[in-house]
């Protein structure tokens, strides 16, 4: 790849991780960073995530061959407006990383910008530049949503630029993208948050419920811990798709209510049977629209030093352990240590090491 200048706007988890990936495969690419946080900018330079921070946004944009908007969709649209007032090079490609595509593609078209929507379907439960990870996108789907045939070569340029992500590149129509992510990511976040909000009122009446929720309920609602502002923006930018899906979901729950009222055993059984069949056939070795949880659950005996024994063992292995949690209650299990890892490789390594070195039983989520 010839000498290029890439401007990354937004140096949080996604932006900083992309910068690392670009440098990994293209060390000669000159990366310019821009973030609203002075502290983040300072960290980016000190840790060599970017090559430099420009004094002028306008001059940096004019010098760039590729501009990446690694910011929330509302912020990305603000920057599109700013970029529309700058005399960019004719061949400059602008792309983004936001979770919805129809609205931002329409905005870019209105400004007559050379824009190709992008969405790396990867994330983490940590945020900010300190969560920067060059392996974040490995085996994840990276979606591009070009709207013109003549952008095909430019998509190939972006795929080459981002080859260090080791992601699987896919092209979709913006509308299809929003419908798919609406079903597989946005709607589940709404449902999970709705369950948690409903449980909040229930917990006031039944205080013990909160303690018992440490088991399966906590697991199936984990995505409700996502950033509220980010998800407000996502829902509003994909509102037309989600309104249709919520209507269908309401019909599904109404149908289930009808079956319960009429004690329709056959329909209720079929409801769960269909769900089980669909769930059992979902791919297990690929990253999807919701970030994966790399959790290992270890049954620990009720004796002094059990947890210290496990953590001491893992300290001898070159893996990244991101979180440790003791679960006081989990369905039919007493004494469970929950270990969270950065990726599947570290999870598998830890499981094998613990089982080989101890008599503790380990299980995946």
pLDDT tens column, 24-43? 999 999 999 999 999 999 99
Q: If pLDDT is split at 50, 70 and 90, which confidence band does 123 have? A: confident
Domain boundary among 280, 306, 328: 280
In this structure, the dihedral spanned by the alpha carbons of residues 165, 168, 173 and 178, taken in order and rounded to 10 degrees, is -80
In this prediction, residue 210 carries a pLDDT of 72
Examine the domain organization and report whether 157 and 123 are in the same domain. yes
Residue that finishes a domain, picked among 122, 138, 172: 172
- Note whether residue 152 is domain-resident: yes
Q: Are 13 and 126 in contact (CB under 8 A)?
A: yes
* Of 354, 232, 343, 261, the residue nearest 300 (C-alpha): 354
The DSSP code sequence of 45-88 is: HHTTSSSB--S-HHHHHHH-SEEEE-S-HHHHHHHHHHHTTS--
- The alpha carbon of 98 is separated from its chain's Cα centroid by a whole number of angstroms, namely 10
**Residue 162 structural domain:** 5-172
Same domain, 31 and 55: yes
The DSSP element (H or E) to which 30 belongs, if any, is strand 30-34
Q: Please check the confidence at residue 334 and state whether its pLDDT lies above 60.
A: no
Q: What average pLDDT does this structure show over 330-346?
A: 68
Report the pLDDT averaged over residues 118-142.
Answer: 85
Residue 286 placed within a domain: no
Query: What distance separates the 2 farthest-apart alpha carbons in the chain?
Result: 69
| Per-residue pLDDT at 246 | 97
Check whether 288 has a pLDDT greater than 80. no
| Contact by Cβ (8 Å): 19, 49 | yes
Structural domain includes residue 360: yes
Q: 59 or 309: whose pLDDT is higher? A: 59
Answer yes or no: do 37 and 164 share one domain.
Answer: yes
Average pLDDT, the chain: 88
CATH number of the domain to which 242 belongs: 1.10.3660.10
pLDDT value for 330: 45
Same domain? For 28 and 142 the reply is yes
The pLDDT tens digits of the residues spanning 240-269 come to 999 999 999 999 999 999 999 999 999 999
- C-alpha 194: how far from its chain's center? 20
> Which comes out higher in pLDDT, residue 317 or 283?
317
In a domain, 127, yes or no: yes
- Same-domain status, 168 and 184: no
State yes or no: pLDDT of 305 exceeds 80: no
Residue 34 counted as domain residue: yes
> What's the pLDDT band for 308 if we cut at 50, 70, 90?
confident
Beta strands in 166-283 (DSSP E): 168-171
- Tell me: pLDDT of 303 over 80: no
Tokens of 274: 């269909």
Is residue 288 in a domain?
no
Residue 302: which CATH number?
Answer: 3.30.70.260
Clarify whether residues 126 and 195 are in a common domain: no
The candidate with the shortest Cα–Cα distance to 180, out of 168, 190, 169, 188, is: 188
pLDDT band at 333 (very low <50, low <70, confident <90, very high): very low
Domains of the chain: total: 3
Q: What are phi and psi of 118, to 5 degrees?
A: -135, 150
The CATH number assigned to the domain holding 164 equals 3.40.50.720
If asked whether residues 71 and 192 sit together in one domain, one would say: no
Check residue 147 and give its pLDDT: 93
Picking from 246, 267, 245, the residue whose alpha carbon sits closest to that of residue 256 is 267
- 156 and 54 in a single domain? The answer is yes
The CB-based long-range contact list for 78-85 (8 Å cut-off, 24+ gap) reads: 79/9, 80/104, 80/107, 80/108, 80/111, 80/113, 80/115, 81/107, 81/111, 82/57, 83/111, 83/113, 84/111, 84/112, 84/113
Pick 151 or 200 by higher pLDDT: 151
* pLDDT band per the 50, 70, 90 thresholds, residue 293: low
Last residue of a domain, one of 234, 254, 280: 280
Q: What is the pLDDT of residues 183-233, one digit of tens each?
A: 999 999 999 999 989 888 887 788 777 766 666 777 788 888 888 888 999
151, 209: one domain:
no
Predicted local confidence at residue 290, as pLDDT = 57
Are 99 and 165 members of one domain?
A: yes
Give the alpha-carbon dihedral of 163, 167, 172, 176, to 10 degrees: -150
Looking at the structure, tell me whether residues 9 and 142 fall in a common domain: yes
- Out of 120-124, 195-199, 347-351, which region has the weakest mean confidence (pLDDT)? 120-124
Q: Is residue 285 part of a domain?
A: no
- The pLDDT of residue 146: 96
Residue 316's pLDDT is what? 82
The pLDDT, as a whole number, for residue 332 is 43
Residue 290 forms part of a structural domain: no
Does residue 141 surpass a pLDDT of 70? yes
**Range of weakest confidence among 41-55, 97-111, 171-185, 343-357:** 343-357
Do residues 210 and 359 share a domain? no
pLDDT digits (tens, 9 = 90+) for 10-19: 999 999 999 9
Percent of the chain residues past pLDDT 90, beyond the cut: 59
Residue 194 CA to residue 81 CA, distance in Å, equals 35
């Amino acid at each position: 790849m010839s000498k290029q200048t890439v401007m990354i706007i937004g140096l949080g988890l996604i932006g900083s991780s992309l910068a690392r990936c670009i440098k990994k495969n293209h060390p000669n690419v000159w990366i310019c960073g821009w973030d609203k946080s002075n502290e983040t900018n300072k960290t980016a330079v000190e840790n060599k995530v970017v090559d430099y921070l420009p004094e002028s946004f306008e001059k940096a944009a004019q010098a760039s061959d590729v501009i990446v908007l690694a910011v929330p969709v509302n912020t990305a649209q603000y920057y599109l407006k700013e970029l529309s007032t700058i005399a960019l090079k004719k061949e400059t490609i602008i792309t983004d990383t936001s979770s919805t595509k129809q609205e931002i593609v329409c905005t870019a078209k209105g400004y007559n910008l050379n824009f190709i929507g992008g969405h790396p379907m990867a994330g983490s439960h940590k945020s900010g530049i300190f969560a920067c990870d060059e392996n974040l996108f490995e085996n994840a789907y990276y979606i591009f949503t070009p709207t013109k045939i003549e952008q095909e070569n430019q998509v190939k340029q972006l795929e080459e630029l981002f080859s260090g992500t080791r992601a699987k590149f896919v092209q979709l129509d913006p509308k299809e993208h929003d419908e798919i992510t609406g079903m597989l990511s946005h709607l589940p976040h709404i449902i999970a948050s709705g369950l948690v909000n409903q449980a909040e009122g229930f917990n006031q009446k039944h205080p013990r419920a909160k303690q018992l929720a440490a088991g399966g309920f906590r697991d199936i609602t984990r995505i409700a811990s996502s950033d509220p502002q980010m998800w407000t923006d996502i829902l509003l930018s994909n509102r037309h798709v989600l309104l249709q899906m919520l209507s269908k979901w309401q019909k599904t729950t109404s149908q289930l209510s009808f079956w319960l009222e009429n004690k329709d055993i056959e329909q209720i059984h079929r409801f769960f049977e269909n769900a089980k069949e669909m769930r059992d056939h979902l791919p297990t070795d690929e990253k999807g629209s919701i970030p994966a949880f790399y959790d290992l659950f270890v049954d620990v005996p009720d004796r002094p030093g059990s947890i210290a024994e496990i953590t001491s063992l893992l300290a001898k292995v070159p893996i990244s352990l991101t979180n440790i949690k003791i679960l006081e209650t989990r369905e039919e299990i007493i004494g469970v240590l929950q270990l969270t890892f950065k990726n599947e490789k570290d999870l598998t390594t830890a499981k094998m090491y613990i089982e080989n070195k101890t008599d503790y039983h380990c299980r995946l989520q």
